[in-house]
Amino acid sequence: MNYRFAYPTGDTAALTVAQTEALAGVATRWNLTQTVEVQPMFGGDGAVIVNVGSMWLVVETDGYTHS
């Protein structure tokens, strides 16, 4: 499935290739909608956070994902 990763404003998120791939895996695993809302992580040097329902996950610029 093709996902769209967007900020709460509706703008498409500026992500690295590794982040996009990692977020697609997260979206598939957690059955997220086609448009996935991400938020920039304050002080995260480009990392974004995504709510998967029961927790927030951080996706670093290298694709490393953690809670």
pLDDT at 1: 80
pLDDT at 43: 87
Q: Are 32 and 40 in contact (CB under 8 A)?
A: no
Model confidence pLDDT, tens digit, residues 4-61: 999 999 999 999 999 999 999 999 999 999 999 999 999 889 999 999 999 999 999 9
pLDDT at 44: 84
Find the DSSP H helices in 1-67: 17-29
pTM for the model stands at: 0.92
pLDDT at 21: 97
Q: Are 58 and 41 in contact (CB under 8 A)?
A: yes
* Sequence spans of domains, the chain: 4-66
DSSP 41: P
Helices (H) and strands (E) in the chain, counts: 1, 5
